[in-house]
Amino acid sequence: MEAETLIRAEDKQKGDEDKPKASEPGSSRDGGQKEPAQEQGKARDAKPAPERKRIRNLSEDKRFKLFSGTANPELARRIGEHIGVKVGETKLQRFADGEVFFQLLENVRGVDVFVVQPTCFPVDQHLVELLVMIDALKRASAARITVVVPYYGYARQDRKDRPRVAISAKLIADLLTVAGANRALFVDLHAAQIQGFFNIPVDHLYASPVLVGYFRDLNLPNLMVVSPDPGGIERARFFAQKMGAPLAFVDKRRTDINVAEVMNVVGDVKGKICLVIDDIIDTAGTLVKTVDALLDSGATAVHACASHAVLSGPAIERIAASRLEQLVVTDTIPLREAGQKLPKIKVLSIAGLLGAAIESIHMETSVSSLFS
């Protein structure tokens, strides 16, 4: 009986200790329950959960790896320097008949993998390399494979504009998806609607922030931004808004592949320094004709910039012989040796832009701030 009384006394003392004291924060006279007004006030003051915090150096993250094909290893190295990682070790060889052999020399099981490979010249060779790399990563149990394609080959074949032709841009999208890509990152697609060809998430970046910064620093007087064709007006309009400059465009007619005939300049360019904005400079035929048309219409000087310096065939010679002041391009495609020796051509790196996008995708934070 005494033992039972002692146990009840201890239970009562323990219960009294568990009750909140009147002087404790959040306690009240009715047993420690907060006032409804206090609860409502706290709900009003509640803040949304912050985005996942970025790691300053991704080398600390064992679930992240960056790889590169042979198309533009220098760009991949610069991206790695920006985000603080080394490009992963691989073995890529070719058989005597040109067939590609690829092997990963690092474990990627459960890893978030990014593969940098523009499909530039030779386009088909670099495309097959990318497909084989994706397949190897998939079979090595990578958790997610993001293809980083700074230059998307076949992008100019995005619609059926004549009888019995292929929509090759859609075909390439299907190949990348079937090979095992889970996500794609592009820079300045020739047509933005190519994103709709993919059934996987696509991030589409623009090189404009890098190019705009360069020309702002030049501070060219009486500047007018020019689109070399009506299809590029949206791209040129964005550039003109950022530069605070008026806009003009050149009406042209394309008579065949890589052949364009300039018709006339729409806009008053007399006494202006013109800046021609394009996404791709291929044979430079359109660019040179545009420069001539602008100067013949009264422009005092012409500069040009483009995201992708394809510069195939006689492009370098045409630019060298033209009246163009300078051509500014990015390193989405490695510049040919002849182009590197030409003072008229200047290359800006987009490694920082791509590095920031890769970091955001891996950390699942917003990429939209890079679009402007």
The answer to whether 314 and 283 have CB atoms below 8 angstroms apart is: yes
The answer to whether 169 and 194 have CB atoms below 8 angstroms apart is: yes
Q: Is 270 a catalytic residue?
A: no
d(CA 60, CA 64): 9
The answer to whether 137 and 145 have CB atoms below 8 angstroms apart is: yes
d(CA 316, CA 366): 39
Dihedral, CA of residue 274, residue 292, residue 257 and residue 191, to nearest 10: 10
Amino acid letter, residue 16: D
Of 42, 53, 86, 252, which one is the catalytic site residue? 252
Instruction: For residue 82, give both structure tokens.
Output: 């920006």
Q: Report which of 153, 162, 305 is spatially closest to residue 228, judged by C-alpha positions.
A: 305
Q: Which residues pair with 116 in a beta bridge?
A: 68, 148
Instruction: For residue 251, give both structure tokens.
Output: 């009406």
Q: Residue 183: which H helix or E strand, with range?
A: strand 183-187
- Any alpha helices (H) in 205-313, and if so which ranges? 208-218, 233-243, 285-296
Residue with tokens 């841009």: 169
CA angle 332, 168, 210 (to 5 degrees): 20
Q: Report which of 151, 136, 139 is spatially closest to residue 88, judged by C-alpha positions.
A: 136
Strands 259-266 and 247-256: antiparallel
Q: Report which of 87, 132, 120 is spatially closest to residue 105, judged by C-alpha positions.
A: 87
Residues with active-site annotation: 252
